[in-house]
Structure 1
Amino acid sequence: MSSILTNNGAMVALQTLKSVNKNLEMTQNAISTGKDVATAKDNSAVWAISKVMESDVQGFNAIKDSLALGESTVAVARNASETVTDLLTQMKEKIVAAQEDNVDRGKINDDVTALRDQIASVVGAAQFNGLNLVDGSAGTASILSSLDRDSSGAVNSSSISVASQDLSIGGYTAKGVLAGSGGATTDNDVAGFTMDKAGGSGDIVIDSSTDNFEVGDSVSIRVGDQDVSYTIQASDLDPSGTYDDAYTDAFVAVGLKNQVDALGITGVAVDYDSGSPNTLSFTTGTATAGADADQDITVTAQFTNAGSGGLGALSSIDVSTDAGAAAALGTIETLIDTSIDAAAAFGSAQGRIETQQDFVSKLTDSFKSGIGSMVDADMEETSARLQALQVQQQLATQSLSIANQAPQSILSLFR
């Protein structure tokens, strides 16, 4: 039966053409984006899984940066430990030479002292981004190493712990000998204050009446961005045999004042008061021109306790005498073992970090491959599908055209 009101053939052809056009649009989108699942409407379950995995990939990229920072920090500490080991080995060579009676022990002792100062310099400079793992101040450093996702979707972070090693010769402590005034804030190891450029003042009090100075102890002062320090010598102690804090404190105060004066900081003056306790009084506003006359000045003081660090025994090494040279030989062996243990510990930690870096890199690549297998389009298959759909579109269009012309044949029945 033919009808001019209902063209079933045209309706079938139209639905076929719509279906072909829809599939063709999806194929063209896959070619444009490179993905079979580009949005949640394409496949909500696969899209959701891929987005979770993509967020993990971004997290692991951040972990790569954390591991790189941690690896660099540990590498600096390891290099410093190895350098200290080399310097201690050189020192051992000097100490062994000092065992002979017919050598100039004074000159050898000077070499030992120079090596000790170099060790202190290496330890002080061995920091990366402000973190020093060899001066005994850092404790344990935690390096972010992984993100762990369990079956419920909860995420926890993992870290690699790196214990610091104390290769310092002296540790920082207040020891009760320092006090700052002039609006000072004082913590466990630093006394200080800030002076206004227009005219300010403050005092650094040096008072060892409660905790006696020892040979090798030192006090350092920073004025603005410049440092000076004074180290206690045997001659600074009271020759009477009974410790007199005022006697020793005077040497420290005067020594520090002379060094601060030598800095020549414009707009800052320091005076010495020999009263009990010994006091250094700082004032600003003493000049109207110069590099430092137009800025506030911060003054801080810090005490170094000789012999309190991991290599503190270096402070007592003195090969200028036969007895000192003999004692130093046993001491240096212990110190070399300490530095070797530190280098080995950092080497082990660095190796672990590098292994984790390699694992995270491979894990990230695996995640990316997994995401790609779920959402990326197979371009060979998509190309073949495009060709087929284009032919289907042409055929469906031709079929619809034929179906639309069918009612025209009915007119011939009425001629």
Structure 2
Amino acid sequence: MTSIMTNTAAMAALQTLRSINTNMAEVQERISSGYRVQTAADNAAYWSIATTMRSDNAALSTVQDALGLGAAKVDTAYAAMKASIDVVTEIKTKLVAAREPGVDKLKINKEITELKNQLMSAAQSASFSSENWLYNTNTAAVGTKSVVASFNRDGNGNVSITTLDFDTAQSMLIDTGSAARGLLTRAYDADQLQQTPTGTAAPYYLIVAPPAAPPTGTEIKLTATTAPTEMDAMIRVVDKILGQLTDAGSTLGAITKRIDMQESFVANLMDTIDKGVGRLVDADMNEESTRLKALQTQQQLGIQALSIANTNSENILRLFQQ
């Protein structure tokens, strides 16, 4: 039936054209934004996952910053520890030189005194961001220091923070609150460092750090009357201190390596998360471009179909012409 009141063909053509225009608007939005899932309305599940993972990636970015800060602190402590090892090694060689008969012990002691001052300076300078793992002026011990290493989310959605912990008791060189807490300020029993101890305690310490009271024992310094047996005891104690500093340096080096590995892992993890989110929500530009071309063609055909449908009413008019 042909009707001048209801143009069925035009309605169908118009409906098709509207659908084509809607699809074109969607494709153009994807091309302009680069996302096929930009809002929750596009795909609620994918949008939720992507939003959560982007938030986690932002947290991981902060972890990267924290690792960088932690690495700087460890590197600072290691640099000062390495310098201290060199200085203690020099003190050891000076004591060995003083063991030689006829050597001026007082002159060598002046050199040892300056080397001790250098140890104090190196420990005091090992500060980064107001933290010093080698020198403590507080009454309480510095304790364990933590470096944020990772941000984790388990299968149930619970989040947690992983840290790298370091006990500064392993590296503390000088502690003005308690001489016993410092590797350079505590006393060591030289008798126990002999291959065959005599049982008579002979404690020695290297540095005095006021206001902490000196430990019970004898300071490692030379006088004109220092006996060879005393120098032997001092050498054993300095060698013991050197071993402890070397152990502390090894620990700091291992932590530095661990931080470097963790930084690399976090960077790779962030890239992997970005790729995963991209697979969920990014638009395929090749596909969208092809789809846009097809829709443009469909749009032109739709307009042509609507134009043809609208001419049907004019054809009806010809039936009444004489």
Q: TM-score, normalised by structure 1?
A: 0.66
Q: Is the 8 A contact 2:134 2:174 kept in 1?
A: no
Matched, 1:374 2:280: yes
Match of 1:144 in 2: 148
Matched, 1:163 2:69: no
Q: Is the 8 A contact 1:169 1:307 kept in 2?
A: no
Q: Is the 8 A contact 2:72 2:128 kept in 1?
A: yes
Query: Shift in Å at residue 412 of structure 1?
Result: 1.8
Match of 1:78 in 2: 78
Unmatched 5+ stretches in structure 2: 180-205
Q: Is the 8 A contact 2:175 2:209 kept in 1?
A: no
Q: CA separation of 1:373/1:152 partners in 2, compared to 1, >3 Å: closer, same or farther?
A: same
Matched, 1:386 2:292: yes
Q: CA separation of 1:36/1:412 partners in 2, compared to 1, >3 Å: closer, same or farther?
A: same
In structure 1, C-alpha distance between the alignment counterparts of 2:90 and 2:165, rounded to whole Å: 32
Q: CA separation of 1:217/1:346 partners in 2, compared to 1, >3 Å: closer, same or farther?
A: closer
Tell me which amino acid in the other structure corresponds to 1:79: A
Match of 1:397 in 2: 303
The DSSP-based 3-state class of the residue aligned with 2:145 is strand
Unmatched 5+ stretches in structure 1: 175-214, 220-302
Q: For residues 1-400 of structure 1, what are the structure 2 equivalents within 5 Å?
A: 1-135=1-135, 137-164=141-168, 165-172=170-177, 219=210, 303-307=211-215, 316-320=219-223, 321-322=226-227, 323-400=229-306
In structure 2, C-alpha distance between the alignment counterparts of 1:373 and 1:168, rounded to whole Å: 53
How many residue pairs were aligned?
Answer: 288
In structure 2, C-alpha distance between the alignment counterparts of 1:355 and 1:396, rounded to whole Å: 60
Query: Could you say which structure has the higher strand fraction?
Result: 1
Q: CA separation of 1:169/1:58 partners in 2, compared to 1, >3 Å: closer, same or farther?
A: closer
Tell me which amino acid in the other structure corresponds to 2:151: L
Percent of residue pairs bearing the same amino acid type:
38
Query: Shift in Å at residue 306 of structure 1?
Result: 2.8
Query: Could you say which structure has the higher helix fraction?
Result: 2
Which range moved further: 404-413 or 354-363?
Answer: 404-413
Tell me which amino acid in the other structure corresponds to 2:214: A
Structure 1 residues 16-36: Cα deviation after superposition (integer angstroms, max 9, x where no partner): 101100010011101111111
In structure 2, C-alpha distance between the alignment counterparts of 1:50 and 1:141, rounded to whole Å: 34
Tell me which amino acid in the other structure corresponds to 1:131: E
Structure 1 residues 268-297: Cα deviation after superposition (integer angstroms, max 9, x where no partner): xxxxxxxxxxxxxxxxxxxxxxxxxxxxxx
Structure 1 residues 48-90: Cα deviation after superposition (integer angstroms, max 9, x where no partner): 1100010011000000000000010011111111111111111
Query: Shift in Å at residue 2 of structure 1?
Result: 1.1
In structure 2, C-alpha distance between the alignment counterparts of 1:28 and 1:373, rounded to whole Å: 19
Q: CA separation of 1:128/1:115 partners in 2, compared to 1, >3 Å: closer, same or farther?
A: same
Q: Is the 8 A contact 1:167 1:339 kept in 2?
A: no
Tell me which amino acid in the other structure corresponds to 1:354: D
* RMSD (CA atoms): 2.1
